[in-house]
Amino acid sequence: MTYRPAIVSGQRVRPNGPATHVDAAVLATGEVLPGDLFVDASGRGARTAGWLSAAGGPLLPSVTSECGLLYYSRHYRVREQHPMPRPVSLLGGPRGDLGYLAFAVFLGDNRTFCLCIMAAPWDKPFRSLREPAAYQRAAALLPGLAPWLEVAEPISPVLPMGQLRNTLHRVVGATGPLVTGLMPIGDARCHTNPTFAFGASLSLWHAVRLADLADRASDHTDLAMSFDAEIAADATARFDAVSAEDADRARLWSGQPMDVTDAEASMPLFLRFVAYRVAAGDPELLRAVARRIDGLDPVERLPALPHLLDRARTLYAQSVATFPEVPPRTTLLAALTG
Ligand SMILES: Cc1cc2nc3c(=O)[nH]c(=O)nc-3n(C[C@H](O)[C@H](O)[C@H](O)COP(=O)(O)OP(=O)(O)OC[C@H]3O[C@@H](n4cnc5c(N)ncnc54)[C@H](O)[C@@H]3O)c2cc1C
């Protein structure tokens, strides 16, 4: 096998019955690289759909929805003389949704962690989060964060990330594949809001399944159809679930009255605010939540288990009084301006 780093800037196509077949990649140097199968793993900024139509191929149908979040991430390292703070959530670090802003701590290696603070793109005063001192002051007020920040030092600037959209591309139409010889996988096929942490597992799963099916497929059409049969329904369900939660969170953060403890009003917010939050109090609920978050179960499984939703309601009612206080929006904004 030859590994050749290069920038791809287009593709060459030819007809394959009713489909379009990609038979070469065009590199940024102008070199045309023929091949049997092209795997598009170029991530959420994938441009292959545009290249395909520019080369005379079909316009691949795709659906998008706004994530409605600007990310402000900063990496920290826990100082040598301090033990790591104790885990407080399934992913280890504190996380939460304040009803106008969300945050999450992701654990790294070598005593590092990353704090992501997420604000709505339309909530412009929170854009001061890009300023390190303002970020630090606001971070210290987030529920559960103080013990982490007290023992750690920043090892990166504040890293803003925006323009986040959930995107789902389709490569098979009603009568068969629209394109053959080109297989978009991972984020290039389906990109979802990083908060849900589906992307890496799905990308690896796509890659493994594609390698397996490519070994057995009788031709390019068979491969396109069999890969689609394995991954398309799951990708669509995840895209829909993430889009639904993003839409409901945008309504909540815009000030629309919503009872997040009412699964009838919003199942996505009920799961996020209630079921995920209290899951550690019940082994069966914890397992179901972990399997949903980790991509092991179909996303629709947990919402279809009423006995676990009931248990979540009960646990929530028992523990809500002990939840840390949420800083009001005005307090966090005041901290930003110092
Ligand atoms: C802040 C953040 C937090 C996340 N947290 C999690 C998490 O906790 N768990 C989880 O599962 N997922 C998480 N994700 C999502 C996860 O990172 C992605 O879903 C995953 O990396 C997608 O893998 P991929 O291989 O499809 O694409 P990528 O990892 O994006 O790789 C694409 C590669 O293609 C290259 N490339 C692009 N264009 C070209 C070109 N024209 N020519 C040549 N090369 C090109 C890029 O340089 C890149 O190396 C997170 C994402 C972000 C942004």
Segment 55-67, tens digit of pLDDT: 999 999 999 999 9
Hey, what's the torsion of the CAs at 115, 117, 251, 201, to 10 degrees?
-40
Element (H, E) at 288: helix 283-293
Answer whether 205 contacts ligand 1 (Cβ < 6 A): no
Tell me the backbone φ, ψ of residue 94, rounded to 5 degrees. -65, 150
Residue 294 has pLDDT above 90, yes or no: no
Q: Give the C-alpha distances (Å, rounded to integers) separating 28 from 7, 10, 54, 228.
A: 6, 8, 15, 29
DSSP state of 117: E
Topology classification of domain 8-65+164-245? FAD/NAD(P)-binding domain (3.50.50)
CA 90 vs CA 105, 281, 309: distances in Å: 11, 12, 18
* Average pLDDT estimate for 150-155: 97
Where in the chain are the domains? 8-65+164-245, 69-163
Mean pLDDT value across the chain: 95
With 90 as the cut, is the pLDDT of residue 27 above it?
yes
Q: Which atom of ligand 1 is nearest to the CA of 46?
A: 38
Question: What letters, b where the CB count within 10 A reaches 16 and e where it falls short, cover 220-242?
Answer: bbebbbbbbebbbebbeebbbbb
Annotation: CATH topology of 69-163:
Alpha-Beta Plaits (3.30.70)
User: To test ligand 1's pocket by mutation, which of 7, 44, 72, 203 has the most ligand atoms within 8 angstroms of CB?
Assistant: 203
| Contacts of 259-268 spanning 24+ positions with Cβ under 8 A | 261/313, 261/316, 263/303, 263/309, 267/303, 268/241, 268/244
For residue 206, the tally of other CB atoms under 10 A from its CB is: 25
39 and 183 in contact (C-beta within 8 Å)? yes
The token pair at 213 is 């099916």
Q: Return the structure tokens found at 57.
A: 């191929």
Q: Which atom of ligand 1 is nearest to the CA of 201?
A: 11
Residue of the nearest CA to atom 7 in ligand 1?
197
266 Rama class: left (phi>0) / alpha (psi -120 to 50) / beta: beta
Query: Could you read off the pLDDT of 168-223 as tens digits, one per residue?
Result: 999 999 999 999 999 999 999 999 998 888 999 999 999 999 999 999 999 999 99
Ligand 1 touching residue 43 (CB < 6 A): yes
Give the predicted TM-score (pTM) of the model: 0.92
